[in-house]
């Protein structure tokens, strides 16, 4: 083998290894080299870039493998945990535009999310309760635990003051959902799985209020970045239900939809046709996630 | 052969058919599928291993042995009795379906 062809093979191997990151780490450690061997044996001499068909096959295969690996254990317990993880992430995201004014409470909300993500339910409970009480206090103009100058002004992530367009009941509801879920899961005395670190990445688009959609026409604009994150997450829930024939993602999506629909219902008088379209898209995706696990089998091994 | 039968997907059918000859590793299965289908079915490596994992989970195939080649692990798969029964049932079903069309008219 010439120096040039060895260099080409190394490039190709490196690129295929990157694509193999789509697979769960356990699968990659056990069988990654086996797949890589086959990919390199099939490669045309001198090729440096993965064949598109192979690249797509690895991405889809990896996603499928990740989803199927998730669909183990009790579906409703795992679905509930996933749902409260999403709501805890949104609760943290609501504070990120005010981190400079509320560093301690944002840190506590982040620790609450960390505890939920790692499955430390008994730690997550008091943290969520503490932050929830403080936030309901701010939303209702009361000072709990420490003195917070009101209104709380935002950084570049938002233009509105904290809970300016919200209501104490809505804030209480979003923390109550997490707390109820944590109480139920704790009472079962069964461990829950640790969740992906990617949840931290979802907090930023959920926190960013811009680019705002409908800001000119309505008092209750919808953040396009948050909408995109929601559509991607609910789309993954549909894919999960389709591939694994499992309802856990539908349950989690339903828990999340509860919070979004409460918010829209509260602002009912300020909503337009576009808001209904937004709610309709989310509802459609959640309904699809709920029904798709029961789709007809195409063949006996499907 | 009709594409996408109602009982077993086409790539799965060719994987099971290839393994009837004896245990094979991934690369040999890939080559066998290509030959058996006359080049028509060529699943990507990701798709092929997805099929192998699913067939393995359902007990239709099993890992026969593992070998280390050039420091890398390689699994050999074999068809199980359930897999043998499944692929034979599928072949019979397709034969009966084909006979409806291919039998001489008036027979």
**ipTM at complex level:** 0.83
pLDDT category, A218, cuts 50, 70, 90? low
Which residue of B lies nearest to A65 if distances are taken between CA atoms?
A: B50
Q: Is B62 helix (H, G, I), strand (E, B) or coil?
A: strand
Query: How much is the pLDDT for B68?
Result: 85
Tell whether the model's pLDDT for residue A159 goes beyond 80: no
Query: How much is the pLDDT for B1?
Result: 44
Q: How far is CA A123 from CA A91, B56, B72, in A?
A: 17, 40, 43
- Reference A223, options A232, A212, A234; nearest CA is A212
Interface of A with B in 264-283 (CB under 8 A): none
Residue environment code for A173-186, b if the CB has 16+ CB neighbours within 10 A, otherwise e: bbbbbbbebbeebe
- B12 and A31: CB-CB below 8 Å? no
- For the segment A18-44, the average pLDDT, to the nearest whole number, is 90
Do the Cβ atoms of A271 and A264 come closer than 8 Å?
yes
- For the segment A228-242, the average pLDDT, to the nearest whole number, is 90
Angle (CA) B10-A31-A71 rounded to 5° is 70
Which phi and psi angles does A162 have, rounded to 5°?
-60, 125
Tell whether the model's pLDDT for residue A1 goes beyond 70: no
- For the segment A215-241, the average pLDDT, to the nearest whole number, is 81
- B45 and A300: CB-CB below 8 Å? no
- Count CB pairs under 8 A between chains A and B: 80
Residue numbers in B near A60 (CB within 8 A): 46-47, 50
| A110-119, A163-172, B47-56: the lowest-pLDDT one | A163-172
Domain boundaries, chain A: 3-68, 71-301
Residues of chain B with pLDDT under 70: 1-7, 105-107
Q: Is the Cβ of A166 closer than 8 Å to some Cβ of chain B?
A: no
**How buried is residue B26: exposed, middle or buried, by Cβ count under 10 Å (0-12/13-18/19+)?**
buried
pLDDT category, A211, cuts 50, 70, 90? low
- A298 and B53: CB-CB below 8 Å? no
Q: Is the Cβ of A63 closer than 8 Å to some Cβ of chain B?
A: no
Helix (H) / strand (E) element for A124: namely helix A121-139
- Reference A78, options A87, A70, A88; nearest CA is A70
Tell whether the model's pLDDT for residue A21 goes beyond 60: yes
Which residue of B lies nearest to A29 if distances are taken between CA atoms?
A: B73
Asked if residue A211 has a cis previous peptide bond (ω within 30° of 0), the answer is yes
Distance between CA atoms of residues A239 and A245, nearest Å: 9
Do the Cβ atoms of A79 and A251 come closer than 8 Å?
yes
Q: Is A120 helix (H, G, I), strand (E, B) or coil?
A: coil
Q: How far is CA A204 from CA A190, A198, A209, in A?
A: 31, 11, 10
Helix (H) / strand (E) element for A223: namely strand A222-223
Name the range with the highest mean pLDDT among A205-219, A254-268, A280-294.
A280-294
E strands in chain B:
24-25, 61-69, 72-79
Q: How far is CA A252 from CA A233, A286, A289, in A?
A: 11, 9, 10
Query: How much is the pLDDT for A140?
Result: 87
Query: How much is the pLDDT for A278?
Result: 87
Q: Is the Cβ of B9 closer than 8 Å to some Cβ of chain A?
A: yes
Nearest CA distance, B6 vs chain A (angstrom): 5
- For the segment A68-72, the average pLDDT, to the nearest whole number, is 85
Distance between CA atoms of residues B82 and B50, nearest Å: 19
- A301 and B58: CB-CB below 8 Å? yes
- Token digits of residue B25: 């590793």
Nearest CA distance, B107 vs chain A (angstrom): 32
Query: How much is the pLDDT for A124?
Result: 96
Query: How much is the pLDDT for A219?
Result: 67
- In the predicted model, what is the mean pLDDT of chain A? 87
- Token digits of residue B44: 């990507």
């Amino acid at each position: 083998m010439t120096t040039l062809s060895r260099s080409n093979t190394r490039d190709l191997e490196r690129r295929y290894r990157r694509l193999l990151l789509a697979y769960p780490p356990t699968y990659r450690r056990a069988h990654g080299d086996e797949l890589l061997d086959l990919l390199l044996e099939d490669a045309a001499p001198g090729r440096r870039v993965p064949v598109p068909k192979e690249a797509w096959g690895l991405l889809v295969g990896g996603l499928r493998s990740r989803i199927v690996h998730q669909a183990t254990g009790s579906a409703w317990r795992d679905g509930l945990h996933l749902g409260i993880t999403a709501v805890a992430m949104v609760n943290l995201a609501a504070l990120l535009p005010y981190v400079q004014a509320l560093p301690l409470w944002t840190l506590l909300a982040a620790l609450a999310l960390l505890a939920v993500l790692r499955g430390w339910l008994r730690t997550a409970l008091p943290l969520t309760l503490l932050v929830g009480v403080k936030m309901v206090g701010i939303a209702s103009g009361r000072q709990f635990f420490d003195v917070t100058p009101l209104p709380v002004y935002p950084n570049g992530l938002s233009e509105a003051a904290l809970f300016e367009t919200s209501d104490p009941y809505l804030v209480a509801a979003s923390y109550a959902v997490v707390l109820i879920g944590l109480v139920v899961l704790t009472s079962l005395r069964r461990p829950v799985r640790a969740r992906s670190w990617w949840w931290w990445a979802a907090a930023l688009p959920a926190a960013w209020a811009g680019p705002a959609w409908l800001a000119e026409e309505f008092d209750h604009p919808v953040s396009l970045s948050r909408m995109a994150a929601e559509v991607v997450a609910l789309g993954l829930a549909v894919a999960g239900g389709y591939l694994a024939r499992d309802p856990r993602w539908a349950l989690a999506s339903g828990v999340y939809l509860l919070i979004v629909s409460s918010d829209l219902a509260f602002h009912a008088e300020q909503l337009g046709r576009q808001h209904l379209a937004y709610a309709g898209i989310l509802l459609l995706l959640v309904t699809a996630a709920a029904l798709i696990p029961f789709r007809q089998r195409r063949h006996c091994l499907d | 052969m009709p594409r996408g039968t109602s009982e077993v997907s086409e790539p799965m059918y060719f994987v099971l058919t290839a393994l009837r000859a004896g245990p094979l590793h991934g690369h040999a299965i890939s080559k066998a599928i290509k030959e058996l289908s006359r080049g028509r079915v060529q699943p990507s490596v990701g798709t092929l291993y997805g099929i192998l994992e699913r067939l393995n989970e359902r007990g239709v195939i099993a890992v026969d042995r593992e070998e280390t080649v050039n420091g890398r692990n390689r699994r050999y798969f074999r068809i199980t009795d359930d897999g043998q029964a499944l692929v034979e049932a599928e072949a019979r079903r397709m034969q009966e379906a084909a006979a409806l069309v291919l039998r001489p008219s008036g027979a």
